[in-house]
Amino acid sequence: MPIKNQCQTERTTSSNADFRMLVGELDEDLNSRYGELQKQYNGFNRVEQIDTVVIARINGKAIGCGCFKPFDNETAEIKRVFLRKECRGNGFADVILKELERWAAELGFRSAVLETGKGQPEAIRFYTKQGYTLIPNYGQYSGNENSVCMKKEL
């Protein structure tokens, strides 16, 4: 398996074919974890017309992705972070998240929020390790017992 510094990132948009393919794989993964419960999140996960997408590549092959959108004037919401299973555990998710955070900061955002699910304990550990802290569930996730919302100052 390649090492972390061999991972290259590309800034693109949600119209990128590799991003669409990876998001499809993410949706399959989430459906396998949550089943019927996942349907309540599908409307929150739309990524049409997002200009802030990051794709991670090894030797030109897309291995992971993520994106963000404005949550408010000072906060970016991190969305659709995904890494193919065979690439996990090698630091590549760090590369994706750091690039998303760097880009958001370049655009003037001072913090980032995100939502993940209780059925993804590895994601909760990852975000905690990256400096995100638990916050009350926000917006459409308020009152949802399966959601875990987090925040980090950029």
Residue 26 in this model has a pLDDT that exceeds 70: yes
Phi–psi pair at 97, nearest 5 degrees = -65, -40
Predicted TM-score (pTM) of this structure: 0.87
The per-residue pLDDT for 2 is 58
SS3 per-residue string spanning 74-127:
CEEEEEEEEECHHHCCCCHHHHHHHHHHHHHHHCCCCEEEEEEECCCHHHHHHH
The per-residue pLDDT for 61 is 95
Higher pLDDT, 119 or 57: 57
Q: For residue range 99-124, list pLDDT tens digits in order.
A: 999 999 999 999 999 999 888 898 99
Reported confidence tier of residue 12, pLDDT bands at 50, 70, 90: very high
d(CA 109, CA 145): 28
d(CA 104, CA 74): 10
The per-residue pLDDT for 74 is 98
Least confident of 7-11, 39-43, 70-74: 39-43
Reported confidence tier of residue 49, pLDDT bands at 50, 70, 90: confident
Q: Residue 96 corresponds to which tokens in the numbers above? A: 């994706």
- Cβ neighbours of residue 58 under 8 Å, at least 6 residues apart? 2, 6, 7, 8, 87, 92
The per-residue pLDDT for 38 is 46
Q: What percent of the chain has pLDDT over 70?
A: 86
Q: Give the type of residue at 110.
A: R
**DSSP-assigned states of every residue in 16-52:** -HHHHHHHHHHHHHHHHHHGGGGGGTGGGG--TT-S-
Which DSSP letter does residue 72 get?
Answer: S
The per-residue pLDDT for 136 is 97
Q: Which domains does the chain have, with CATH numbers?
A: 4-112 (3.40.630.30)
Calculate the CA 109 to chain-centre distance. Answer: 16
CA-nearest of 116, 123, 122, 112 to 147 is 116
Which DSSP letter does residue 128 get?
Answer: H
